[in-house]
Structure 1
């Protein structure tokens, strides 16, 4: 390979997800337009709280009645004062209605706040349940930070739907209707003038609000990208610092923050137009009423008490109209966020698990068998990977490196007619250059994906005829760079075996040569491992993952063994750990260093998605040029 040239990156699952509205992603990449929610899609979130909303509706009716009675009582007070008639209990009745409407309003506000919080909780619960059940392909095509943003930030906007959007909706509607009817009885001419002014302002508000929805969708999408960028930078902070890339990462993440800010400014700009429109409508309406109404009082068409009552009813219209304008704005913002929430809720879940249990394993069948398996990643994963590859090429171009001429993902299969068998109780190794399809084979065994064609047999049964939960219970899977969860050693071990005792945990730890980890901390299995297992070495994290799989006592272990970064001592310990767990078990191991698998019962050599050789170490050295070259480079021949 020429100096200054690097291979096309293989970290393609780190991709940018589709976001709503035509915006620009990181480094200027265009982000495709995503779905927008409709009001109908918002209803299920509200109908979950029908009982509370009915109570709020009843309170709204009572509050509206108490509020509408007040202008009428004021008019009566004015008339009695003009006629020098004693007020009697009229004033106390007016005070009672004012207090009643205030108490009702306060309790109604509490119910709406509580229900708004409940809507956020239920939407988060549904999203969490949905996200954690999505097919693996969706995680390969999306950024984790964006999914997290949908659970946290996007759901929060639904709170405004009840607390600002639908607050007192029923009561305000009744007040609006009641006030209009009362005003029509007092003076139809004045009412017509008010309707013209207010109707024109509402039409403008509705028109502007559609722009708020689009801007809100862009803002939430940019917040999602911002979350992804921060998560990526924080998770790789040591590498970033060591590479002197801190300022570049700050600039990249700040770019997403700036885009979110710009979308927020657009929302503020439109909202700033809506507020004065509402204010002008109120001012013009009041001036019209005072001017025309004063003239009609002077002409004797109406009396002063009627004009005052009309003006009070006009002010009563302000709250419903202000709420309506607020509802239009907040609901459109919520619908922008709901589009992103609904996108996840509409995704298909990983299928299952209604099928009956499979028959007992065939004793003479291989533990795992691939028969002419071909596999191509789904289109949405391919597109995401190609987009990530293009972004990676842009990054490399910025530092004047050549990304090479990699074959487009869409033009090739990952596996091309792979056939091999893993006998029960045997140790089988998969070897080959990077990108040969080794990790994909383990993903297919675990049914994270299903093959495009061909068949994978588990104990003689087609894997597609087994429920995923039953199939995965037969395997202990240790992925490459297996994550260490924040918490304690026991927390990590009990992930697949929640009922395991401390003694069980200690037993498997010692089985994989991690006894020294127990001895260096008085807390033993309750010792913390730190964020991402930072308190453990790389080799210890990998062996901890093996211990986690071993604790579940599966008959087959799938080890995507990553030893390329281990020193000689840790490599030897890893080899000893594999030897220890191999007893009475079937092992299918991906080998990055041939020294860890030279004594395997069977070694399968892969290249470009094809099996190019099978046999023992000595047989492959003699028969398979690729394996012989790999062995020579690792000084094994």
Structure 2
């Protein structure tokens, strides 16, 4: 930037010298005197000015790209550290739009804004000084015309910025709509909804078009102002200047120099007017970027939470000897998911008034005083009807959310006092719909253990009966799985997600419906693999098929966010009506 500014100032100086040389050349010609090296000097100044302009343009573009790169890095780093609740409330497509199109607009701040303004101010000031020396009267008339144009541009600049923010918001809506349709293309096709999705995207496209027209209508007034100011100033100077030359107040050489200085004054002004649209668009995009940058990251505030927690073993000391071996413990946990935020840029569309009113009447509490402990080296199963809060329990162990009251502890330490990265390094988590990342089989396996060898990868694939995927082609572990694992079956995707967790082999394993898509043979193979890796590890499993968890060391039964029974299969069949009913329906009693 410093080099570009120096080049800009040097180019401005070279341009300001040209009218002075032209005036000298005209005077020598009028007096029939030799020009000497003046013509060579004038040509040299023109060439130097052009070369400096080209080098400056390249450096500006390179610097602009560097700003876009650093902005994207910072935005992505912040985005991927946001609390999970932010992703619950925001649309994926809008976030992608901020990384793509919004950051691109920042280039205009440099390429059409900052440096042009610095060099332009120097040229503008120099031209004003030169014109004042030549003819203050003509300068006064010129300033009146220019001042009027500046007032109009300044009054329109805010309108352009607001219109640009709206336009970028609509581009985010459009990106979100396209992302929604493409990510669900098979469901859309199977439902015969292709044309409806196209029409829905058309609505967002038209919205972006309309907002774009707002920017165009505002900039359509700004862009020609420089041209009009130039023409009016030129006509005024030509008319009044011609009269003053005729009256002997000025010479022809002075009038020509004044006109050249006029062009030098108007050109940076025109660039500034043209930059108003670009820079205000960039500032509108910057506002959307800053909105994400200023959101608190997942880790911010953790130290404050930890400072408020007791130094003791989070209540375990008072639970008796039976609980001192608990790897994971829930103590009177109360939790409700955050309420939907008000509609704002990038947030999910708000509910209609009637739906919102109905939602306000619903108690959003998911867990109500949940208490249980999972012992080291044992298997604990969570069972119960859908919506009982089973998956929420695993999310709280991972600290995707923090409890509203009560406490969750790992090895006797409240999870809120632990560093999230350290906490998650001790936990292996397989989601209910565990995603497969676009890339290769190796990319998916080494996600949580980047130092794993090929032999390690093949070993866990064999453990989950997934080596057949490696045999489909000649690429082995480098076999592509497609976007969202589309080249794999549902059961293969689930087994790959489990293999990824088994490869990391952390002390605590959390499995959420990890065998729901598997056939009987693969389910048995997978249970054997999990049993092998779970030795001396704590395993917490969610399952709707009780046959997969009847041999667990402990089963926790949940209903409406409350624990209604804890024990083994044989104990719960006798003591817990809900579990007995579940077991009867699955022919396990």
Q: Could you say whether these structures have the same fold, taking a TM-score greater than 0.5 normalized by the shorter chain as the test? A: yes
Q: Is the 8 A contact 1:563 1:593 kept in 2?
A: no
- CA distance in 2: counterparts of 1:422 and 1:192, whole angstroms: 86
Q: In 2, distance between residues paired with 1:521 and 1:105?
A: 55
- Does the alignment pair 1:208 with 2:160? no
Residues in 2 aligned to 1:72 and 1:89: alpha-carbon distance in whole angstroms: 14
Query: Could you say what secondary structure the match of 2:106 adopts?
Result: helix
Shift in Å, 1:406: 6.8
Corresponding residue for residue 247 of structure 1: 195
Match of 2:389 in 1: 437
Q: Please give the per-residue CA displacement for 1:6-65, whole angstroms capped at 9, x wherever unaligned.
A: xxxxxxxxxxxxxxxxxxxxxxxxxxxxxxxxxxxxxxxxxxxxxxx2112211221111
Looking at structure 2, the residues matched to 461 and 257 of structure 1 have their Cα atoms a distance apart, in angstroms, of 52
2:433 match? 481
- 1:263-299 per-residue CA deviation (whole Å, 9 max, x = no partner) reads 1111111111112222221111111111111111122
Distance 2:9 2:478 in 1: 58
Q: 2: distance between equivalents of 1:628 and 1:406?
A: 34
Cα distance in structure 2, aligned partners of 1:610 and 1:343: 38
Aligned positions of 1:535-546 closer than 5 A: 535-546=487-498
CA-CA distance at 1:312 after TM superposition:
0.9
Other-structure match for 2:417: 465
Instruction: Name the structure 2 match of 1:27.
Output: none
The residue aligned with 2:320 is: none
Tell me the residue number matched to 2:208: 260
Structure 2 unaligned runs (5+)? Answer: 318-322
Q: Match for residue 377 of structure 2? A: 425
Question: Which of 322, 333, 352 is 1:373 aligned to?
Answer: 333
Question: In structure 2, do the counterparts of structure 1 residues 432 and 167 end up closer, same or farther at CA, with 3 Å as the change threshold?
Answer: same
Task: Report the 3-state secondary structure (helix = DSSP H, G, I; strand = E; otherwise coil) of the residue aligned with 1:367.
Answer: strand
Which residue of 34, 45, 48 maps to 1:100?
Answer: 48
Q: Structure 2 residue aligned with 1:221, among 169, 172, 177? A: 169
Residue 506 of structure 1 corresponds to: 458
- 1:252 Cα deviation from its structure 2 partner: 1.4
* Aligned with residue 283 of structure 2, among 312, 323, 335: 335
Q: Using the TM superposition, give the Cα deviation of residue 443 of structure 1 relative to its aligned residue in structure 2, in angstroms.
A: 0.9
TM-score (structure 1 length as normaliser) = 0.85
1:600 maps onto 2:552 in alignment: yes
> The residue matched to 2:565 in structure 1 has which SS?
strand
Indicate the SS of the match to 1:636. Answer: coil
CA contact (8 A) 2:509 2:539 kept: yes
- Note if 1:551 corresponds to 2:488: no
Q: What SS does the corresponding residue of 2:259 show, helix, strand or coil?
A: helix
CA–CA distance in structure 1, aligned partners of residues 520 and 161 of structure 2:
58
- Aligned mates of 2:116, 2:55 — CA distance in 1: 11
Deviation for aligned residue 1:72? 0.9
Q: Are 2:218 and 1:273 aligned? A: no
Q: How do 1:551-630 residues align onto structure 2 when only pairs under 5 Å count? A: 551-630=503-582
Task: Note the C-alpha offset of 1:618.
Answer: 2.7
**Counterparts of 2:343 and 2:169, CA distance in 1:** 19
Tell me how far apart the structure 1 counterparts of residues 338 and 112 of structure 2 sit (CA, whole Å). 42
Output one character per residue of 1:544-593: Cα deviation in whole Å (capped at 9) or x when no partner. Answer: 11111111111111001154455555555554444444333221011122
Shift of 1:617: 2.1
Secondary structure, counterpart of 1:449 in structure 2: coil
Deviation at 1:497, TM superposition (A): 0.7
Q: Secondary structure at the match of 1:351?
A: coil
Mapped contact 2:335–2:404 kept (Cα < 8 A):
yes
Q: 1:106 to 1:298 in 2, by over 3 A?
A: same
TM-score (structure 2 length as normaliser): 0.92
Distance 1:555 1:478 in 2: 14
SS state of the match for residue 566, structure 2? Answer: strand
Contact kept, 8 Å, 2:473 with 2:479, in 1: the verdict is yes
User: Which residue does 1:78 correspond to in 2?
Assistant: 26
Tell me which of 470, 485, 509 is aligned to 1:533: 485
Q: Is the 8 A contact 2:440 2:479 kept in 1?
A: yes
The separation in 2 between residues aligned to 1:630 and 1:389, in whole angstroms, is 38
Please give the alpha-carbon distance, in whole angstroms, between the structure 1 residues aligned to 2:529 and 2:96: 36
Distance across 2 between alignment mates of 1:370 and 1:228: 38
Give secondary structure in 1 for the equivalent of 2:373: strand
**Is 2:232 the counterpart of 1:284?**
yes
Equivalent residue number for residue 4 of structure 1? none
- Length, aligned pairs only: 574
- Residue 113 of structure 1 corresponds to 61
Q: d(CA) in 2 for partners of 1:186 and 1:382? A: 62
Task: State the SS of the aligned residue for 1:456.
Answer: strand
Please, which moves more after superposition, 362-371 or 152-161? 362-371
Distance in 2 separating the partners of 1:424 and 1:409: 41
Q: What CA deviation, in whole Å up to 9, does each residue of 1:436-491 have, x standing for no partner?
A: 21111111101111111111111111112221122111111111111111122111
- The answer for the alignment partner of 2:398 in structure 1 is 446
Q: CA deviation at 1:141?
A: 1.7
Residues 238 and 136 of structure 1, relative CA distance in 2, 3 Å threshold: same
**Aligned mate of 2:133, from 173, 181, 185:** 185
Other-structure match for 1:491:
443
Cα distance between partner residues in 1 of 2:123 and 2:342: 56
Question: Which whole-Å CA distance do the structure 1 matches of 2:211 and 2:390 have between them?
Answer: 44
Deviation, structure 1 residue 190: 1.1
Write out per-residue CA displacement over residues 490-526 of structure 1, whole angstroms, 9 at most, x where no aligned residue: 1111001111111111111122222333344443323
The residue that corresponds to 2:252 in the other structure is 304
User: Quick one: distance in 2 between partners of 1:405 and 1:133?
Assistant: 33
Q: Distance in 2 between matches of 1:139 and 1:405?
A: 24
Question: Aligned pair 1:172/2:120, yes or no?
Answer: yes
* 1:374 CA drift (Å): 0.9
User: What is the rounded CA distance, in whole Å, between the counterparts of 1:564 and 1:390 in structure 2?
Assistant: 33
Aligned partners of 2:91 and 2:348 also within 8 Å: no
* Match 1:238 to one of 186, 189, 199: 186
Does the aligned pair in 1 maintain the 2:343–2:349 contact within 8 Å? no
Task: Name the SS for the 2:540 alignment partner.
Answer: strand
**Relative to 1, partners in 2 of residues 1:156 and 1:383: Cα closer, same or farther, differing over 3 Å?**
closer
Deviations 1:219-256 (A, max 9, x none): 11111122221111111111110011111111112221
